[in-house]
């Protein structure tokens, strides 16, 4: 049996002159070496070969189609546009790989990849036809087909098919997670809309109120509250913070104290900080 040597370090007690300390001790031991995983090596070789085929196909198709398009446009633009032909079906293969556990969605990417591959092969053949090199056109078009086939085989090597029940379980779980992920931008958009509505309402209220800008008689931290009284039972922390903001209070501690005074109870500093950030963004 083949063995390999590994290094192990551990703390051991060591005594000198009656004083014991823990010191680092290094030990080399032989352990059995696992057999070579030939299946994994072959799987890796197939993947590398598929990547090389795709790279060769991309270079060849770009060169051939670019030479065809260069007859009517600048060479730089022609070759940049030519790269799109093979990049399209390569991108479809990447999407198919990402959706390998979702056959319904992967089927669309597979069909789109086959269509893009056909267009790319037709363009390569057209290059040979225009330059009166039909055989080269046919052989060159087959390069992309071979690359596509090689990658499809590599994907089958890495595929892990699921039984129907497990597939349904995965789809149900994915639907719930996707719904939660989708709600993140939706909630953000709704909050943004609510802030815009609140800002519009405050602007209209300010325009319809007193036009006298002078608010003498109150300090910067404790402005005058001679306006209409607010029912504390129906007042929320968010509304109390907004009232303090409208009164010109910008200091965080002052807002916290003002909101607690209006509510008649302590308020959460985290909630006050969150509402202040929202008001500053909407300002």
Per the CB < 8 A criterion, the answer to whether 200 and 228 are in contact is no
pLDDT at 207: 59
pLDDT of residue 231: 57
| 49 in the same domain as 103 | yes
- 45, 111: one domain: yes
Domain that holds residue 10: 3-32
Residues 47 and 150 in one domain: yes
d(CA 96, CA 123): 24
Q: Does residue 268 lie within any of the structural domains? A: no
CB atoms < 10 A from the CB of 281, how many?
9
Mean pLDDT of the region 18-30: 89
C-alpha distances in Å from residue 269, one per residue of 17, 180, 215, 241 = 59, 28, 28, 11
Please report whether residue 206 resides in a domain: no
- Residue 175 within any structural domain of the chain: no
Out of 139, 158, 177, a domain closes at 158
pLDDT given at position 262: 82
> Which uninterrupted H or E stretch holds 27?
strand 19-32
Report whether pLDDT(111) > 60.
yes
pLDDT at residue number 275 = 85
Average pLDDT over residues 176-185: 90
Say if residue 86 is in the same domain as residue 150: yes
pLDDT for 219: 43
Q: How confident is the model at residue 60 (pLDDT cuts 50, 70, 90)?
A: very high
Burial of 93 (0-12, 13-18, 19+ CB in 10 A): buried
The answer on pLDDT for 212 being more than 50 is no
- Give 34's DSSP letter: P
The reply to whether 26 and 98 lie within a common domain is no
Share of the chain above pLDDT 90, in %: 30
Same structural domain for residues 152 and 106?
Answer: yes
Any domain includes 177: no
- pLDDT recorded at residue 221: 45
Task: Classify residue 21: in a domain, yes or no.
Answer: yes
Write out the two tokens for 14: 């060591």
Indicate the number of domains in the chain. 2
pLDDT tens per residue across span 266-276 = 878 888 888 88
| 55, 146: one domain | yes
Instruction: Return the percent helix, strand and coil in the chain, to nearest 5.
Output: 65, 10, 25
Q: Flag whether 164 is in a domain.
A: no
The answer to whether residue 270 sits within a structural domain is no
Q: Which residue has the higher pLDDT, 118 or 223?
A: 118
Looking at residues 41-53, what average pLDDT do you find?
Answer: 91
- pLDDT-based confidence at 146, cuts 50/70/90? very high
pLDDT in the model for residue 88: 93
């Amino acid at each position: 049996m083949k063995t390999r040597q590994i290094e192990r370090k551990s703390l051991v007690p060591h005594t000198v002159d009656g004083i014991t300390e823990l010191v680092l001790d290094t030990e080399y031991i032989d352990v059995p070496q696992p057999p070579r995983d030939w299946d994994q090596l072959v799987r890796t070789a197939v993947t590398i070969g598929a990547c090389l085929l795709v790279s060769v196909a991309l270079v060849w198709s770009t060169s051939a189609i670019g030479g065809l398009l260069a007859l009517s446009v600048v060479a730089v633009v022609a070759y940049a546009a030519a790269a799109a032909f093979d990049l399209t079906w390569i991108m479809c293969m990447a999407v198919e790989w990402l959706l390998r556990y979702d056959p319904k969605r992967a089927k669309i990417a597979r069909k789109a990849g086959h269509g893009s591959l056909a267009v790319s092969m037709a363009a390569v053949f057209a290059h040979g036809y225009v330059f009166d090199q039909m055989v080269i056109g046919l052989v060159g078009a087959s390069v992309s087909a071979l690359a596509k086939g090689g990658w499809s085989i590599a994907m089958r090597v890495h595929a892990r098919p699921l039984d129907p029940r497990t597939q349904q379980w995965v789809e149900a779980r994915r639907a719930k997670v996707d719904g939660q992920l989708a709600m993140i931008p939706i909630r953000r958009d709704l909050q943004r809309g609510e802030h815009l509505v609140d800002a519009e309402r405050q602007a209209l209220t300010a325009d319809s109120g007193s036009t006298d800008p002078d608010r003498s008689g109150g300090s910067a931290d404790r402005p005058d509250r001679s306006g209409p009284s607010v029912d504390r039972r129906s007042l929320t922390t968010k509304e109390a913070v907004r009232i303090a903001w409208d009164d010109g209070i910008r200091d965080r501690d002052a807002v916290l104290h003002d909101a607690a005074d209006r509510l008649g109870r302590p308020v959460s500093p985290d909630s006050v900080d969150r509402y202040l950030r929202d008001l500053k963004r909407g300002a």
